[in-house]
Amino acid sequence: MTAPTLPPEARPQYAAALLTALLVLALYAATLAPTTAMWDASEYITAAYTLGLPHPPGNPLFVLLGRVASLVPVGTVAVRVNLLAALCSAFSAGIWFLVADRVLVRLVDDRRARAAAALTAALLSATAFTVWNQSVVNEKVYTVSLAFFAAVSWLTVLWCDDPDGRRADRLLVLVAYLIGLGYTNHPAGLLVGPAVATAVLVRRPRTLLRWRLLIAGALVFALGLTPFALEPIRAAHHPAINEGEVTGCTGSIGWSCTFSETTRTRLLDNINRKQYGKPDLSVRQAPFGAQLGMWWLYFKWQWLRDSHDDAPASQAVLAVLFLVLGIAGGIAHWRLDRPSFWFFGPLVCTVTIALVYYMNFKYGASQSPGLAGVEREVRDRDYFYLWSYSAWSVWAAVGLAAAWQGLARRAGTAAVPRWVMTAPVLLIGAIPLAGNWRDASRAGETATREWAHDLLNSVEPYGILVTMGDNDTFPLWYAQEVEGVRRDVTAAVTSLLGTDWYIRGLVRRPISPYDAARGPAAYRATTWPKPTRPLLSLSTAQLDAIPDYADLREPQIFQAGSLRAVVDPRRLEFGVPLRSDLLVLQLLKENLGTRPLYVARMSGSYTQALGLEPYALLQGLAYRISSAPLRASADTVAIPGVGFLDVPRTRALWSAYGAPSAIVRRGDWVDRPSVGIAAAYVSVGLTLSDALAARGLAAESAAVQRSAVEVASATRTLEWFTGSVAPR
Amino acid sequence: MRITHRKLALRAAAAAALLAGYADLARGGLTAAPLLLVLGYLVLVPLVLLAD
């Protein structure tokens, strides 16, 4: 294939691309989250700030970038890391401008007209729901991956322009390096590889036979992988977030323990994400058609999110429109700029069809809600297809530009150029900007931060708080490690207690002193001595020897002091006590009477599963496990379905909680899979309101109820509490 | 291929940034290490590769 001859006016419009990137950055800044958010945002912000290791594969490049971002003196730490996501996506938008501009060179002569079309591509890509939503809070590492995809895309386009030129080999070597480096941000960094290989194979196949170039590419690819060295080095310093603990060093860092078999095995297991044990690809977790259906569901979200199904018909029409535009854009790309098509086409296929097959997801959390009895992902996974929707937007804009030029050719002669007369058709590209603003914007969203403070403050000084998953755990990490809030509390998440490294980290964690001045007023009347004993007395070897589960089939008595609980395996999730359950009971046994143990309200059924219900006293957002069976009294009220409620404590805590007003101000909740947290506030508020009414405190009861109902209304959970809202 | 002073200086700067970054990281550094490593990986090494 010969290189197309590009007209002189085909020079890349770098200044316009820069302006476009700045425009997109301004949009993201205006809709940026002021603090952390649900799901993984807190984990990544905390890992960046502490230069720690988030969940496998550890994302070392992101951690480095995030740490540097956290040092920039602008706003809070969370804002700084959120801005990193915004910068990466704005950079990508600038690159998509250049790509679209290049594709359209042979269709649109006028540079200004072409810039308008390229701006449409950038804007469409930047405001596609998932791209926008992930760019205004650093929830994942995917915006960094997007920036790498975009950079590799432009370099490959430049190579395709002149594959025999003076710079050609340098460009390919740089691409190989960036793919390796991108892999250390996230394995998805490799997804761009097949597209580069296809472009090279089609454009200049003999390149693949030049062994010197291949060796150079392999060497720089390997150099790009070296940020993985950060993992064992940082892990040996035992940072606050040290998932996977990829080091053989148990004390301080050293040569022998770093260059050991243990470190090597743990590092490889971490990079390969062995912890998750995903099934072989031949074992489909849902029918492939359903997995494509999940992609289509999220595709529909991109152009009009409509999170509450207020306009499903409009959403469907727009989805079909942008699907058709994207297909038309792909065809136009094929016709207009074949060399770059051989890169971009395979890229779209890789991040769409191939990725759907590879990810092998179960049914989506929001997919086919009427379909019962199928396994579902715990949350919507649209963010895995961020690259797909971003790239598709470029094609959709190229399709729109082709339609625009078709219209311009048919427009009558006028005093103004035809392309100007027909330019309003490009406004179709602004539909997602208007349609997604409400759902994509994170401006003013502070509920997660408040939730973390509220939950930690529900726990008495030096307490141990048992949590169950991401959303009642990661925000606590953020509050404690980034904001320094209630570091005296030890959060123990059951979903990680099954791993060996997590409990070692908990035991190693120093006990921070309780800061009464920053703590809730409810604890100020008491003196809280700092515990002198460690969390557990077991040695590392003893902890490591705890089995994955105990083969217990019959109910057994668990006794700690005067606490006698009947642990019935049939009430446990997996029918046997898991390692995490055994460790929670051990924590209870060793700390009862010295350090209070709590179970988060979100995990309330866990107290029942362990037979601890007669000892569980609800104090605000967490159950405190008492050392003796509870009895109803003036201050301790037995409430069906809830258990025992500590009325004075909950009353004091409720009045200081910040999340209810934050939720009401926002007027919505981020997604349905995590809305249980908002519902926990509603439940606690309504329960407290009933207890206050029973005490004759009518005015206060009504105020608490009003607040709870406002939260329920804002988060559309009021119907869950029908019958629980008594007239006041 | 001619190695100019500029190329040599770039290579040396990239190698120095990465080595110093990892040395500081091993020491437990939380500020200079990430700055040096990001400078090395995202600025200097790409410049070296484009210059070579």
Residue-wise pLDDT tens digits, A433-482:
999 999 999 999 999 999 999 999 999 999 999 999 899 999 999 999 99
Go through chain A and tell me how many residues it has.
728
Count other Cβ atoms within 10 Å, centred on residue A723: 5
- Per-residue model confidence (pLDDT) at position A414: 63
Helices B32-39, A60-71: crossing angle, 10 deg rounding: 120
- Per-residue model confidence (pLDDT) at position A469: 86
Q: Tell me how many residue pairs between chain A and chain B have CB atoms under 8 A apart.
A: 50
SS3 track for A42-103: HHHHHHHHHCCECCCCCCHHHHHHHHHHHHCCCCCHHHHHHHHHHHHHHHHHHHHHHHHHHH
Please state, in angstroms and as integers, the Cα–Cα distance from residue A301 to each residue in A151, A306, A429, A643, A668, following that order.
26, 7, 15, 41, 17
- Per-residue model confidence (pLDDT) at position A6: 62
B41:A64 CB<8 A: yes
Count other Cβ atoms within 10 Å, centred on residue A7: 10
Closest partner residue to B25 among A167, A170, A234, by Cβ? A234
Rounded to whole angstroms, the Cα distance separating A40 from A113 reads: 41
- Per-residue model confidence (pLDDT) at position B1: 53
Is residue A572 within 8 Å of residue A609, measured between CB atoms? yes
Has the ipTM of the complex gone over 0.90? yes
- Per-residue model confidence (pLDDT) at position A7: 66
B45:A61 CB<8 A: no
> pLDDT tens digit string along A162-180?
999 989 999 999 999 999 9
- The answer to whether residue A1 scores a pLDDT higher than 60 is no
For the segment A392-411, the average pLDDT, to the nearest whole number, is 92
- The answer to whether residue A691 scores a pLDDT higher than 80 is yes
> pLDDT tens digit string along A211-230?
999 999 999 999 999 999 99
Q: State the pairing for strand pair A616-619/A643-646.
A: parallel
Closest partner residue to B34 among A51, A173, A226, by Cβ? A51
Tokens found for residue A110: 């006028």
B22:A229 CB<8 A: yes
Measured between beta carbons, which residues in chain B are less than 8 angstroms from residue A68? Answer: 34-35, 38
Measured between beta carbons, which residues in chain B are less than 8 angstroms from residue A65? Answer: 38, 42
Is residue A323 within 8 Å of residue A86, measured between CB atoms? no
Rounded to whole angstroms, the Cα distance separating A46 from A60 reads: 13
Closest partner residue to A170 among B26, B34, B49, by Cβ? B49
Is residue A467 within 8 Å of residue A57, measured between CB atoms? no
- The answer to whether residue A413 scores a pLDDT higher than 90 is no
Measured between beta carbons, which residues in chain A are less than 8 angstroms from residue B19? Answer: none
- The answer to whether residue B12 scores a pLDDT higher than 70 is yes
Q: How far apart are the first and last CA of chain B?
A: 8
Interface of B with A (CB under 8 A): 18, 22, 25-26, 28, 30-31, 33-35, 37-38, 41-42, 45-46, 49-52
Rounded to whole angstroms, the Cα distance separating A394 from A392 reads: 5
> pLDDT tens digit string along A520-541?
999 998 999 999 988 999 988 8
Q: Is residue A5 very low, low, confident or very high in pLDDT (cuts 50, 70, 90)?
A: low
- Per-residue model confidence (pLDDT) at position A56: 92
Residue A257 in contact with partner chain B when CB distance is under 8 A: no
Closest partner residue to B26 among A51, A71, A233, by Cβ? A233
For the segment A247-272, the average pLDDT, to the nearest whole number, is 93
Closest partner residue to B34 among A64, A181, A237, by Cβ? A64
- Give residue A679's identity as a one-letter amino acid code: A
Q: Is residue A315 very low, low, confident or very high in pLDDT (cuts 50, 70, 90)?
A: very high
B45:A223 CB<8 A: yes
Closest partner residue to A177 among B33, B38, B49, by Cβ? B49
CA distance B28 to chain A (A): 7
The Cβ-side half-sphere exposure at A454, using a 13 Å CA radius, reads 31
A177:B26 CB<8 A: no
The model's pTM: 0.94
- Per-residue model confidence (pLDDT) at position A32: 98
Q: What is the mean pLDDT of chain A?
A: 93
Measured between beta carbons, which residues in chain A are less than 8 angstroms from residue B42? Answer: 65, 181
Exposure string of A394-408, with b = 16+ CB inside 10 Å and e = fewer, is bbbbbbbbbbbbebb
Q: Do you find a cis peptide bond into A279, omega within 30 degrees of 0? A: no
- The answer to whether residue A2 scores a pLDDT higher than 50 is no
Phi-psi region of A530 (alpha: psi -120 to 50; beta: other; left: phi over 0): beta
- Give residue A363's identity as a one-letter amino acid code: Y
For the segment A41-70, the average pLDDT, to the nearest whole number, is 97
